[in-house]
Chains A and B, each alone.
Chain A
Amino acid sequence: EVQLLESGGGLVQPGGSLRLSCAASGFTFINYAMSWVRQAPGKGLEWVSLISGSGSDTYYAQSVKGRFTISRDKANNTLYLQMNSLRVEDTGVYYCAKGLHRIYFDYWGLGILVSVSS
């Protein structure tokens, strides 16, 4: 059974940093691209970032480019999102998602809340 479990969220001040983790199990981690998708309170979904199965290719939404870094640890089957220079508008629930044919998200975690506020 595929499971994705996010951790590392919380409250941070504007300009601060957080690192999200997503522990994956139930599938061969290195064979699949992974993404982060976020949802601001009461708003729609926004794709944030994608990393290929090998980790060699990464992609970012324009809204986070230069501030966020996606990475993966194949030894520990874990996906990461390093978030720097956080802004109030980065507040929301962040989902980790497994890629189907890279760009479709066939399994999702439960999500983790990130709140950016002074």
Chain B
Amino acid sequence: QSALTQPASVSGSPGQSITISCTGSSSDVGSYNLVSWYQQHPDKAPKLIIYEVTKRPSGVSNRFSGSKSGNTASLTLSGLQAEDEADYYCCSYAGPNAYLVFGGGTKVTVL
């Protein structure tokens, strides 16, 4: 099972909005509304920020939002802040054989 495709890096200025794409296939993202997103700061464990495509866990800022169209899921960060500088990973259910697959990760830089 191939990893989901994410851009290697995305950048934006404070206060701006950025969007990270996560492209899969009809075997994973396209077939299931079971996409999640994780934020990982350097040398820290990942943190769940979006699940089931659009839902935010309790305590996660509403500046994070998720969406999906066809085989591509997206994460939007609004009102970009310095603390948002981190790596972001998407993950999708991929059926009973492959089960779960992560994207390669996107480094977000706040200019």
Q: A: which residues have CB within 8 A of B? A: 35, 37, 44-47, 50, 59-62, 95, 100-101, 103-106, 108-111
Q: Check B48–A47 contact: CB distance below 8 A.
A: no
> Which of B40, B45, B57, B101 is the one whose CB lies under 8 Å from A109?
B45
B interface majority secondary structure: strand
Which B residue's beta carbon lies closest to that of A47? B100
**Which B residues lie within 8 Å of A59 (CB)?**
99-100
Q: How far is the CA of A111 from the CA of B100 in the complex (A)?
A: 19
Q: How far is the CA of A111 from the CA of B98 in the complex (A)?
A: 24
Q: Check A95–B45 contact: CB distance below 8 A.
A: yes
Q: How far is the CA of A16 from the CA of B45 in the complex (A)?
A: 27
A interface majority secondary structure: strand
Q: B: which residues have CB within 8 A of A? A: 1, 3, 34, 36, 38, 40, 45-48, 51-52, 57, 87, 89, 91, 93, 98-105
> Which of B45, B47, B48, B102 is the one whose CB lies under 8 Å from A100?
B48
Q: Check B98–A62 contact: CB distance below 8 A.
A: yes
Q: Check B36–A104 contact: CB distance below 8 A.
A: yes
**Which B residues lie within 8 Å of A50 (CB)?**
99-100
> Which of A45, A109, A111 is the one whose CB lies under 8 Å from B105?
A45
Residue contacts A-B, CB under 8 angstroms, 26 given: A35-B100, A37-B46, A44-B3, A44-B87, A45-B46, A45-B91, A45-B102, A45-B105, A47-B91, A47-B99, A47-B100, A61-B1, A61-B98, A62-B98, A95-B45, A95-B46, A100-B48, A100-B57, A103-B93, A103-B100, A104-B48, A105-B36, A105-B46, A108-B45, A108-B47, A109-B45
